[in-house]
Structure 1
Amino acid sequence: MAEQDCMVEISTDRARIDHAYCYDVIANSYWGGGRTRGEFDKSVEMSVPVGAYCDGKQVGFARVVSDLIALAYVADVFVDPDYRRRGIAAKMIDALHAHPDLARVKRWLLATHDMQPLYRAHGYEDLDDLMMMRVDEEAKSRKPLR
């Protein structure tokens, strides 16, 4: 099956994250260089991660750092170049927004140099040339976590 024909699966199962693959991509990115593998592993452990998979192979990743109530920070979003322009990043962002542990989060932040159109389509607004924020006014009406 060609890469373009595979069915993409989005999963928030942290056990499925291919740490070696994700670390390699992020360590070579403009935003994540300088991290050690141990630091990357710890960042995933302390976050809500999401992965994109094509025939079981990881092709995308994103994570959210959050207190699960007031604030969430979207980080380390990437899609393998061979799988871009298929809406995978958008599906990962949707999965994070819909994650039950993040249902009560009102303010979502992120930093990006080049993907503003993607995030604007998901309700984020520019704060400056780098930072964006999404305010989920419905968060307070959702069932409390505890």
Structure 2
Amino acid sequence: MPASELTISTDPGALDLEMVYTFLSQETAWAKAMPRETFERAVAGSLCFGGFADGEQIAFARVITDRATFAYLCDVFVLPAQRGRGHASALLGQVFAHPALRGLRRIVLVTTDAHHVYAPHGFTSLANPERYMELHRPDVYRP
């Protein structure tokens, strides 16, 4: 299926949040074992994008933003059976075309192995990584 057949929605009611939560909490390193309530708060406070093919959601992206100057792109995925068809690029194209995200000064993301997905959309390594700091709590979801 070509990526042109991917339909994007930001309507929270259209999103298959059960599928998204299951995938994120079971299949990703960054959200493994995330409590459902944490996921629901994250979605409620974010601009979320669902990618649909043949009526089923197969992709997701979440953007945390002030809608004026800054955004953090996260939780981006395409279901494994649907990868390699250009869906990630089509999803990202729609994310960056969204009116709430146009004209932002900075959009950041973190990836371990998908640099090739984001580079065509203008992402580069940090120009000044020494300026960035983080407070990282990798065990926060553990009981």
TM-score above 0.5, yes or no: yes
Which residue is 1:38 aligned to?
37
Structure 1 residue 88 corresponds to structure 2 residue 87? yes
Structure 1 residue 21 corresponds to structure 2 residue 34? no
When residues 5 and 115 of structure 1 are mapped into structure 2, their CA distance, relative to the original with a 3 A threshold, is closer
SS in structure 2 of the partner of residue 42 of structure 1: helix
Q: RMSD between aligned alpha carbons?
A: 1.9
Q: TM-score, normalised by structure 1?
A: 0.80
Relative contact order (alpha carbons < 8 A, sep ≥ 6): 1 or 2 greater? 2
Q: Which range is displaced more, 49-58 or 8-17?
A: 8-17
Deviation at 1:95, TM superposition (A): 1.1
For these two proteins, the number of residue pairs brought into alignment is 126
Which residue is 2:60 aligned to?
61
Maintained 8 Å contact 1:68/1:104: no
Which residue is 1:10 aligned to?
8
Q: TM-score, normalised by structure 2?
A: 0.81
When residues 15 and 22 of structure 1 are mapped into structure 2, their CA distance, relative to the original with a 3 A threshold, is same
Instruction: Provide the rounded CA distance (Å) in 2 between the counterparts of 1:104 and 1:36.
Output: 34
**Structure number with higher strand proportion:** 1
Maintained 8 Å contact 2:10/2:49: yes
* Residues 104-123 of structure 1: pairs in structure 2 closer than 5 A: 104-123=103-122
Instruction: Mark the runs of 5 or more structure 1 residues left unpaired by the alignment.
Output: 129-146
Q: Which amino acid aligns with 2:34?
A: R
Question: What percentage of residue pairs aligned between the two structures are identical?
Answer: 34
Instruction: Mark the runs of 5 or more structure 2 residues left unpaired by the alignment.
Output: 128-143
Maintained 8 Å contact 1:14/1:49: yes
Which residue is 1:50 aligned to?
49
